[in-house]
Amino acid sequence: MRVIVVGAGEVGSNIAVSLAESHDVIVIDVDPEKVDELTYSNDILAIEGDGTSLETLENAGIAEADMLIASTDDDETNLVTCGTAKTVGGVFTIARTRNTNFFKTWTKSEDAFGVDFMVSTNLLTANDIVRVVGLPAAIDVDPFAGGLVQMAEFEVTAESEIAGQTVEEADKFEALTFAALVQDGDVVIARGQTRIEAGNRVIVIGSPESVQSFSRTVASPESSDEARNIVVVGGSDIGYHTAKLLEERGIEPRLIEQDADRGRELAEDLPGTIVLEHDATDTDFLVGEQIDRADAVIAATDSDEKNLLVSLLAQNIGVQRTVAVVEEGQYAGLFEAIGIDVAINPREATAEEIIRFTQKGQVENLSLIEDRQAEVLEIEVDEESVLTGRPIRECVTELPSDVVIGAVTRDQEFIVPRGETVIEPGDHVVLFVATDVLSPVMDLV
Amino acid sequence: MRIRVDWRVSCRLVGTILKWLWVPLLFPLGIALYDGTALLPFVLPILGTVLLGFGLEQLTDERDLRAREAFLMVSLTWLSIALVGAVPFLLAGEGTLAEPVNALFESMSGITTTGATVIVNFDRHSRAILMWRAVLQWLGGLGILVLATAVLSQLSVGGAQLMETESQTQDVNKLTPKISETAALLWKLYIGLTGLQVAVLYGLHLVGYAPEMTLYDAIAHAFTTIATSGFSPRGDSIAAFSPAVQWVIIPFMAIGATSFVLLYFVFQGNFDRLRNSDEFRFYVAILGFFSLGVGGMLFANGGPYTSLEEIARHAIFQVVSIVTTTGYASTDFNLWSAGPKHLLFVCMFIGGMAGSTTCSIKTLRWLVVVKAFRRDLFTAASPSAIRPVRLSGSVIDEETIRDIYAYTLVSLVFFILATIFVVLDASRVQLTVSEFEAMSAAAATFFNIGPAFGIAGPLESYEPFPRSTKLVMTFLMWVGRIEIIPVLVLLTPSYWQS
C-alpha cells in the first residue's frame, strides 16, 4: 500500500514510522529540518512542501496512492488537504482534527470535507481518560470485540495485594488472562511462576467484569471500589468532553475552570456537572471544596505545566488518583516518573487510533503496548488459521512463545480460553503478541 | 420639556383595533334581534366604535411601533375596549349596570377576563347583554396572548419578559416565521377549542345529561371557559348545571390555562413537547396537589357534601377554576370551612401556564423562582459554583430571572397595597369587610380571578363596594391583565420626558 502522510510532527512521524515496516510511506512537511530528520533516520521518502497544494501532492504521487493521512496540528490544513487529494482520485483520506464541530459535521454526513475517516483528537483523549478513570489503578484500558473484552494495564504498588505474588497465585479470576508484565520498561510474557513485584506493570485481558474486580485487587486497599467523586480541572475541549462522557455514565463530576465566561458556557452545556469558577492551584480552595476526598482528579487545562502542578497539588492534599493530559509527548514518561498516576498524550492516542484504523482488514482492532514492544490485537479466525479446529493446548505449540491467547468471543459471547477450548471459524480472538514475532504470528493466524 | 413618546402612533393602532370591534358586537345584536329586545345598546356602539376607530387612524400616517409606543398602545387598547364595552351596559340601562362606574367595572372585568361582577339580579338583564359580557371575555382571553406575541415579542424590553422567557423554552416566535401567521394559528386553535366545547356541552343537553344547558348557555359558557374568564349568564354560575356539565368544564378550563404553543404541538401529534415541558408537569402537579388538599379537608370536615364524587368534583372544580383564574363556581365555596377556603386563597396567586389565556403570576414564573432559589441555596454553600437555571433543559439567562423575581415581588406589593386600600375605603363608608375578605377581593381583581370570599363571594356581587373601591379595582384588573409593567412604565415621568 502506498501511503502519504502530511505533517511530520509527533503524530505524523509516529504513524509514518509504524507504517513504514509494511507499506510505502511518503511524508510531506513544510519544515525542511523535519523532512531531513525523517529521511535519514527511516526508510521513508520525505518531501518538503505544503500538503494543501495540489502540486506537492502530485509530486508525492497522489494519483497512485491508496491512502492519505492528514495529521498536521492545524485542523483546516488537514481538511483542505483531504479535499484537495479527493480532487485527484480515489485515495482514501484520513484527517486528524481537534475541533469537535468538524467531527460532528463529519459523523452526520460522512462525505463532508472529502474525509473518509476522521479522528477527533480531543474526543478520543476524553474517551481514553474516562475509560482509565473507570477502573481503579488502571493506566491504560482498551475495549475489544465490541466491548466484550477489555485489555487493561495496571501499576502494582507496594500496598497492592498481588505485590510479591506469582502470576499463578494472583490469578484468581475466572474470565481473566495475565498477558504480560512490564518490568523496568521491558515487556515480559507472564508465566505461572513469574513473580509480580511492586513497581511492575501488569497487562491483563478478560471480560470487563473480571477486569473490574481484578482492578480492586491491584488497587491499594483505601481506594474506593468505584470512582464516582471525580474532579476535572480545566475547561479545555478535552475537559469538556471528559465531563460530558462522565455525565453519560451517570456520574456527576465537578469541573474547575478559572475563566468566568468559559465557566458559564460550560455550566450551560453540561447540565449534569457542577462547574466551579476558581483557580485550581489554590490549595485552600481545593481543601474547602473537599477536592481532597475525590476518587480522581483529571488535569486537563491547556498547559502541561499547569496540569503537572495541579496533579501534584492534588496528590499532596491526598487525592487517590491523578490523571494528567500532556500535550508534549516526551514529558509523558516524566509525569508518570514523578508520580502522576496516568499521563495521557493526545497525539500518541491519535497516532495509535490512526495506526489501528490502517491495520483494519488484517486485524479487527489493536492496541500498542510500551512503545510498541508488543501489540494486543483482535482477529477473526477463518478455516486456514492455525488456531482453528484444535484445542488451544495443541495449537499454541505451533506459535512462538511470545504470544498469549487472551480471550475468545463467539456469537457475541465471551469464552474463557482454556487448554481444552476449541476455536471455531468466525470466532474473535484477542492475542497478546510481542512485536518482534508479529509478522510470523500474523502469517499463522 | 419635550415629549419623546409619539402617542399618535399608539392611538392610531388602537384605532385600527377599535375599528373592528363592530364584528363581535354583531353577536349580541343578533340575539337582541331574535329575542326582540332593545337594539339601540348595540347599534350605537357599532357606529360609534367604527367612527372612533377611523378618527384615531387619521391622527398620523406613521405606523412604526417602538418600545415606548408599544407600552402605550397595549395599555390604551385594554382601556379603550373597556370604555367602549361599557356603552351597551349603560344604554341598556338594566339593573345595577345602569350606573356608569358599575358599567365600566363590568366591562373591564370582561375584557380582562376577570369575571368579577356587579350584577345583583341576573333576571333583570336581557340575554343579549349577558352574551355581550361573554363575548368581551372571549376577546380578552386570547387577545392578550396575540397582542403579546405580535407586539411585545418584537421588543426586548420590560413587558416583553414574559415572551422572552417563553421564547427560550417554547419557541413562541418560531412557530412560524411571521408573527401574523402565529397569531392566526393561535386564533384557529382558540376558535376550534371553543367550538368543541359548545358541541360537547350542547351534546350533553341533547342526550339528556344537562337539562339546563341550552344552546345559548353552551355558547356563553364556552366563550368564558377557554378564555379562563368566568362570567356566566346564570346567577348561580356553574352550580346551576348538572354534575356532568361540571365535569366537562374542568378539562376545558385546564386546557385554557395550558400554553397554546404546547397545545399547538399536541394537535400536530407531537406529544414530546408536552411530556418534556417542566412547566406543564409543574402545573399539573399543582392542580393535583391542591385538589387533594381541598378534597381531603372537605372529606375530613364532613361538610355539606354527601358522596365522595361530590367532594371530588367540587374540590377539583374549584381548584382548577381558581388556579386557572377562571372563577366559575360549582358550589358556594363561601360556606366551606376555613381550611379549604384558605387553600383556595393560596391558589389565587398561582395562575396557569405562560402563553395561555390565564392571568395571575403564572406557573412559569413560580417555577423559575423555585428553581432559582434552590440554585441560590446551592451556591450559598459552594460560592464558586456556576449553576445556570434550566427550564425543560434550556438555560434561562440571569437577566430574565431577575425580571421574574422583580415581577413577582411587584405583584405581591400591588396586592398588599390594594388590600390596604380596600380595608380603609370600606371602613370609610362603614361597610363591614374582614381582612380576609379584603385580601381575597384585592387578589381576585388584581389577579383577574373574579369571585372572592365573603362579601364578594362566588354567588355574591361586587356591587356593595363603594364607588372609589370599584374604580381602584377596575384599575387593578387593567394592570393585572397587562402584567403591570406597561402601565408602570407609563406612570414613570422619565417615560414621557426626554
pLDDT band at B162 (very low <50, low <70, confident <90, very high): very low
CB A104: neighbour CB atoms within 10 A?
Answer: 12
Indicate the SS3 state at residue A263.
helix
Q: How far is CA A179 from CA A148, A192, A196, A204, in A?
A: 17, 11, 13, 5
pLDDT of residue B125: 92
Query: Do residues B462 and B470 touch, judged by C-beta distance below 8 A?
Result: yes
pLDDT band at B13 (very low <50, low <70, confident <90, very high): confident
pTM: 0.81
pLDDT above 60 (res B118)? yes
The answer to whether A247 contacts chain B (CB < 8 Å) is no
The alpha-carbon gap from A264 to the nearest alpha carbon of chain B, in Å, equals 6
> Does the beta-carbon distance from B385 to A274 stay under 8 Å?
yes
Collect all residues of chain B within an 8 Å Cβ-Cβ radius of residue A263: 386
The residue among B343, B262, B255 whose CA lies nearest residue B295 is B343
The identity of residue A115, as a single letter, is V
- How far apart are alpha carbons B470 and B449 in whole angstroms? 15
H helices present in A171-293, as ranges: 208-218, 237-248, 260-269, 283-288
Lowest mean pLDDT among A421-435, B87-101, B156-170, B172-186: B156-170
pLDDT band at B484 (very low <50, low <70, confident <90, very high): low
Tell the residue number behind the cell numbers 492475542, with chain if given: A431
pLDDT above 90 (res B45)? yes
H helices present in A3-53, as ranges: 10-20, 32-41
Closest partner residue to B388 among A267, A278, A289, by Cβ?
A267
Closest partner residue to A271 among B382, B386, B390, by Cβ?
B390
Contacts of B415 (CB under 8 A, 6+ apart): B349, B439, B442, B443, B446, B447
The residue of chain A nearest to residue B386, with distances taken between CA atoms, is A275
> Does the beta-carbon distance from A289 to B384 stay under 8 Å?
yes
- How far apart are alpha carbons A136 and A317 in whole angstroms? 19
Determine which of B386, B390, B400 to mutate to test the interface with A (most A C-beta atoms within 10 Å): B386
pLDDT of residue A164: 86
pLDDT of residue B218: 95
The answer to whether A271 contacts chain B (CB < 8 Å) is yes
Question: What's the DSSP call for residue A360?
Answer: B
Q: Tens digits of per-residue pLDDT, B200-233?
A: 999 999 999 999 999 999 999 999 999 999 899 9
> Does the beta-carbon distance from B386 to A285 stay under 8 Å?
no
The identity of residue B120, as a single letter, is V
pLDDT of residue A217: 82
The residue of chain B nearest to residue A279, with distances taken between CA atoms, is B384
The alpha-carbon gap from B170 to the nearest alpha carbon of chain A, in Å, equals 18
pLDDT of residue A361: 67
The residue among A169, A172, A178, A175 whose CA lies nearest residue A210 is A175
ipTM of the complex, rounded to two decimals: 0.73
Tell the residue number behind the cell numbers 513504514, with chain if given: A20
> Does the beta-carbon distance from A276 to B395 stay under 8 Å?
no
Query: Do residues B389 and B373 touch, judged by C-beta distance below 8 A?
Result: no
Collect all residues of chain B within an 8 Å Cβ-Cβ radius of residue A260: 386
Indicate the SS3 state at residue A378.
strand
The alpha-carbon gap from A222 to the nearest alpha carbon of chain B, in Å, equals 27
Q: How far is CA B431 from CA B95, B455, B459, B474, in A?
A: 22, 10, 19, 19
What length does chain B have? 498
CB B211: neighbour CB atoms within 10 A?
Answer: 11
> Does the beta-carbon distance from A275 to B390 stay under 8 Å?
no
Mean pLDDT, to the nearest integer, of B372-390?
91
The alpha-carbon gap from A312 to the nearest alpha carbon of chain B, in Å, equals 22
Collect all residues of chain A within an 8 Å Cβ-Cβ radius of residue B386: 260, 263-264, 266-267, 275-277
SS3 content of chain A, % helix, strand, coil (to 5): 40, 30, 35
What length does chain A have? 445
The answer to whether A309 contacts chain B (CB < 8 Å) is no
Query: Do residues A24 and A49 touch, judged by C-beta distance below 8 A?
Result: no
- How far apart are alpha carbons A245 and B290 in whole angstroms? 41
The alpha-carbon gap from A319 to the nearest alpha carbon of chain B, in Å, equals 20
The identity of residue B16, as a single letter, is T
- How far apart are alpha carbons B486 and A256 in whole angstroms? 42
The residue of chain B nearest to residue A280, with distances taken between CA atoms, is B384
- How far apart are alpha carbons B294 and B319 in whole angstroms? 8
The residue of chain B nearest to residue A263, with distances taken between CA atoms, is B386
pLDDT of residue B488: 67
Residues 389-428 of B with CB under 8 A from A: 390, 393, 395
The answer to whether A289 contacts chain B (CB < 8 Å) is yes
pLDDT band at B152 (very low <50, low <70, confident <90, very high): low
Query: Do residues B243 and B309 touch, judged by C-beta distance below 8 A?
Result: yes
> Does the beta-carbon distance from A275 to B393 stay under 8 Å?
no
> Does the beta-carbon distance from B386 to A278 stay under 8 Å?
no
H helices present in B350-446, as ranges: 363-381, 398-428, 435-446
pLDDT of residue A82: 93
- How far apart are alpha carbons B348 and B322 in whole angstroms? 6
Q: What's the farthest any 2 CA atoms get from each other in chain B?
A: 74
- How far apart are alpha carbons A167 and A59 in whole angstroms? 54
- How far apart are alpha carbons A227 and A342 in whole angstroms? 15
> Does the beta-carbon distance from A271 to B385 stay under 8 Å?
no
pLDDT of residue A79: 94
The identity of residue B164, as a single letter, is E
Closest partner residue to B385 among A260, A271, A276, by Cβ?
A276
- DSSP collapsed to 3 states, B191-242: HHHHHHHHHHHHHHHHCCCCCCCCHHHHHHHHHHHCCCCCCCCCCCHHHHCC
A416 exposed, middle or buried (CB, 10 Å; 0-12, 13-18, 19+)? middle
> How many helices (H) and strands (E) in chain A?
16, 22
- How far apart are alpha carbons B34 and B127 in whole angstroms? 10
The residue among A209, A153, A102 whose CA lies nearest residue A336 is A153
Tell the residue number behind the cell numbers 413618546, with chain if given: B5
- How far apart are alpha carbons A445 and B9 in whole angstroms? 86
CB pairs under 8 A between A and B: 30
CB A311: neighbour CB atoms within 10 A?
Answer: 27
The identity of residue B307, as a single letter, is S
Indicate the SS3 state at residue B66.
coil
Collect all residues of chain B within an 8 Å Cβ-Cβ radius of residue A261: none
The identity of residue A73, as a single letter, is D
Collect all residues of chain A within an 8 Å Cβ-Cβ radius of residue B387: 267, 274-275
Collect all residues of chain A within an 8 Å Cβ-Cβ radius of residue B389: none
Query: Do residues B233 and B130 touch, judged by C-beta distance below 8 A?
Result: yes
Q: Which residue has the higher pLDDT, A313 or B404?
A: A313
The residue among A118, A99, A125, A104 whose CA lies nearest residue A242 is A125
**Residues B49, B52, B55, B60: is their CA dihedral positive or negative?**
negative
> Does the beta-carbon distance from A275 to B385 stay under 8 Å?
yes
Give per-residue burial for A263-285: e unless 16+ CB within 10 Å, then b: bbbbbeebeebbbbbbebbeeeb
pLDDT of residue B491: 67
Tell how far CA B57 is from the center of its chain: 29
> Does the beta-carbon distance from B388 to A268 stay under 8 Å?
yes
> Does the beta-carbon distance from A263 to B395 stay under 8 Å?
no
pLDDT above 80 (res B177)? no
Query: Do residues B458 and B451 touch, judged by C-beta distance below 8 A?
Result: yes
Contacts of A204 (CB under 8 A, 6+ apart): A151, A152, A154, A176, A177, A178, A179, A211, A214
The alpha-carbon gap from A266 to the nearest alpha carbon of chain B, in Å, equals 9
> Does the beta-carbon distance from A277 to B388 stay under 8 Å?
no
Indicate the SS3 state at residue A281.
coil
Going from the first residue of chain A to its last (445 residues), give the mean pLDDT of each consecutive group of 10, the final group possibly shorter.
90 86 88 86 86 91 91 93 89 91 88 89 92 84 85 86 86 86 86 86 89 82 74 94 92 94 94 93 89 92 93 90 90 86 89 82 77 84 84 84 87 85 88 85 80
The residue among B287, B367, B275, B363 whose CA lies nearest residue B319 is B287
The answer to whether B383 contacts chain A (CB < 8 Å) is no
The alpha-carbon gap from A269 to the nearest alpha carbon of chain B, in Å, equals 9
**Rounded mean pLDDT of chain B?**
87
